[in-house]
Chain A
Amino acid sequence: MNSKKSAFTSFLFVLPYLVMFILFLVVPIIYGVYISFHEWNLISSDRPFIGLKNYMNILNSDTTLHKTFMRGLWNTVQFVVYSVPLLVVIGLGLALLVNHLPAKIRVFFRTAYFIPYAISVSIIAVLWLWILDTNSGLLNQYLMKWGMDPIPWLTKLPFAWISIVAATIWWTIGFNMIIFINALNEVPEELYEAADIDGAGSWKQFLHITLPSIRPVMLFVLITSTIASFNIYGQPYLMTRGGPGDSTEVLLMGIVKEAFELRQMGAASAMAVMMSLIMIVISVAQFFFLNKKGKGMEA
């Protein structure tokens, strides 16, 4: 009786999340898949079922849709490859640094690094545009003062990617840092004390105590960072407009254009579904690869 009651109370606590989860995630996903099987023009009431045609069009190399999708996918994958390792490594590095600070200023730095994460991407973009402007930006003004040539931060490769990755890291690194700080604090002190007695240096302690202890969190950060990086949209849209040419035009920009400029919701939904499938495959692969490797090392 009592346990039943407590189970019910627990359920009540979960309920709001469950409702939101179903309403704003499960339903739209199913609806999106449903739309992707139709020729769904936003302003036309005639929406015939066309089966897998939208998906076939994406895979057919003669179509514009295919070009948009592949170009976007390639640019997105580039961004993921450039940004994820940095997001993980710098996130961990910052967490270690901040954790070694005296307690009094630790809170200040932790907050300072986390604040950008709470700002909207449009403000981040404006800020970085001021810094990176080729002809009147802060950075190039200094470069020119020191007698160097201005660098086209947003209009040439590879600088455009460097700028987008840098802005992304500055914006979102606080989140990974906080997660890592939590993980670091969970590592039992005794392990370090024992290692100290055995004469292990700080690098060895990091390698053999810290890293193995935070592996599950590492995996979590890696997967969430990959997913977040796959969803990149605001930074290139606002900072480079996909340029130079279309070299930073990411997949979501293509999907948004297909959906709301061309009003082809069916094709756009099919693109989105394909994108999700690719992300799921990558996440699962990351999970299995790292989990297996982890177990091998522990044994």
Chain B
Amino acid sequence: MTSHGDHTAALLRRCSGGDEAAYGQLFELIYADLHRRARRLGKGGGATLSTTALVHEAFLSLAGSPLALNDKAHFFRLAARAMRRVLIDASRRRSARKRGDGEGHVTLDTSLAVPGQDLDVIALDQALDRLAAAEPRMAQVVELHFYAGLEFVAIAEMLALSERTVARDWRAARALLHDSLAGAGQAAHD
């Protein structure tokens, strides 16, 4: 437990010193942890669907010990990136699978509509990159809130902003991204 935490803390410090290798190592560590947790969640831990924050669980397990605010923020930014990656990788694998399958399956019973199921994670990723180019702070709020599952108040603390500003950034980004996704979806159908 402590060795985990110490190891993570050391990696985080090396990251802030600009150590690329440490960054890569920590990213892989978080990625593997999130992947495992998400898989377990998908395997039928449905009762916890609304209550978990996987990134937070990962934080508790990998870092655990108290960290400096700066390191903590760094961890969650990395974790949000890792979650983005988990989603994209899974989505790409699925597309590959579908192509291999040849035929799509007919769904007879739509009662199992999982919230957000129709989200195109790859299009979202690209739209978020474009948004980051113009509004880096807004994009960061999206990463921490949507991907890392942090509350506005925690994000405000990490980014040294007011909670109100974070909430407004989120609202605007939410509208922009959905609008962009809807447009992309339409374009794809045309």
The answer to whether A and B come from one shared complex is: no
